[in-house]
Amino acid sequence: MTDFRALLENLAKAGVQFIVVGGAAATAHGSARLTADLDIVYQRSPDNLRRLVRALEQFHPYPRGAPPGLPFLWDERTVSNGLNFTLVTGLGDLDLLGEITGGGGYDRLLPYSVVLRVFGSECRCLDLERLIQVKRAAGRPKDLEAIAELEAILEERAGSAPEP
Amino acid sequence: MPAFEPDPVIEAYKKDIDRTLIRENLRLTVEQRFEKLMALQRFAEELRRAGRAARQTK
């Protein structure tokens, strides 16, 4: 199980610049679908990588699904040399994304994010319209139902839902 | 005017979306939505555990 509360709290308190995307962003916007992990797009400045590494090191991030015992070192160099990481941590599954299909990296997504006050901290979340756009751009068959639900949420919020 | 160009495949999926669940969620705070997700995760995990136990005692 992923402890969304603890993950968001730790990242926010450490001052990490990130935007919640994926299923957790959909939850924040009102989705009823089950999602297993927290997906975030993180800013790749050296200062932010340092904050990110420090915020997570106590939870021992490790590549998800990889056999145990790999020489995986959680440090700034590792994060700097990579881009997207699917990790398991002591707080659950966490995907760290340097970029997402159809959306780019943190700086490009920032104007399309909203600030959420959640669990006593503030964190950024991709707005509903851009979340739909990036899911449409990804073109994954498994996302079709999720996109349909997100568009329905948009209609409900706008009060333009079709009559049952 | 729709915010997105309607996609016939997505529109087909949309017919099966439970809008009562969406309306219920939209009445919650963001924090409550995450609490609900974590409760759902715990429930799913409990079902998986019970399934495993049932298979072992078969």
Q: Is residue A161 part of a domain?
A: no
Compute the nearest-CA separation of B55 from chain A (Å). 22
Compute the nearest-CA separation of A34 from chain B (Å). 6
In terms of DSSP H, where are the helices of chain A?
Answer: 4-13, 22-29, 46-57, 76-81, 106-109, 128-138, 144-158
- CATH number for the domain spanning A132: value is 3.30.460.40
Q: Is residue A87 part of a domain?
A: yes
Q: Is residue A163 part of a domain?
A: no
Closest CA to A37 of B41, B36, B25: B41
Closest CA to A94 of A85, A106, A103: A85
One-letter amino acid for residue A7 of the chain = L
Phi, psi torsion values for A21, nearest 5 degrees: -130, -175
What distance in Å separates the CA atoms of residue A88 and residue A92, rounded to the nearest whole number? 6
Q: Is B30 on the interface with A (CB under 8 A)?
A: yes
- Check: CB of residue B46 under 8 Å from CB of residue A56: no
Give this complex's ipTM: 0.88
This model's pTM is above 0.90: yes
Contacts of A119 in chain B (CB under 8 A): 31, 34
- Check: CB of residue A119 under 8 Å from CB of residue A5: yes
Could you read off the pLDDT of A95-142 as tens digits, one per residue? 999 999 999 999 999 999 999 999 989 999 999 999 999 999 988 888
Compute the nearest-CA separation of A94 from chain B (Å). 15
Grouping H, G, I as helix, E, B as strand and the rest as coil, residue A35 is coil
In this structure, how many other beta carbons lie within 10 angstroms of the beta carbon of residue A20? Answer: 27
Q: Please report which confidence band the pLDDT of residue A161 belongs to, taking 50, 70 and 90 as the band edges.
A: low
Every domain of chain B and the residues it spans: 30-58
What distance in Å separates the CA atoms of residue B28 and residue A153, rounded to the nearest whole number? 13
One-letter amino acid for residue A120 of the chain = G
Q: What is the pLDDT of residue A159?
A: 84
Whether A147 and B23 lie within 8 Å, measured CB to CB: no
Contacts of B25 in chain A (CB under 8 A): 30-32
Nearest chain A residue to B1 by CA distance is A160
Compute the nearest-CA separation of B46 from chain A (Å). 11
Domain count, chain A: 1
Cα Rg, chain B, nearest whole Å: 18
Q: Which domain holds residue A148?
A: 4-97+104-156
Could you read off the pLDDT of B1-52 as tens digits, one per residue? 457 888 999 999 999 999 999 999 999 999 999 999 999 999 999 999 999 9
| DSSP symbol at A86 | E
Could you read off the pLDDT of A13-48 as tens digits, one per residue? 999 999 999 999 999 999 999 999 999 999 999 999
Q: What is the pLDDT of residue B2?
A: 55
Contacts of A156 in chain B (CB under 8 A): 19, 22-23, 26
Q: Is A149 on the interface with B (CB under 8 A)?
A: yes
Please name the member of A24, A30, A129 whose beta carbon is closest to the beta carbon of B26.
A30
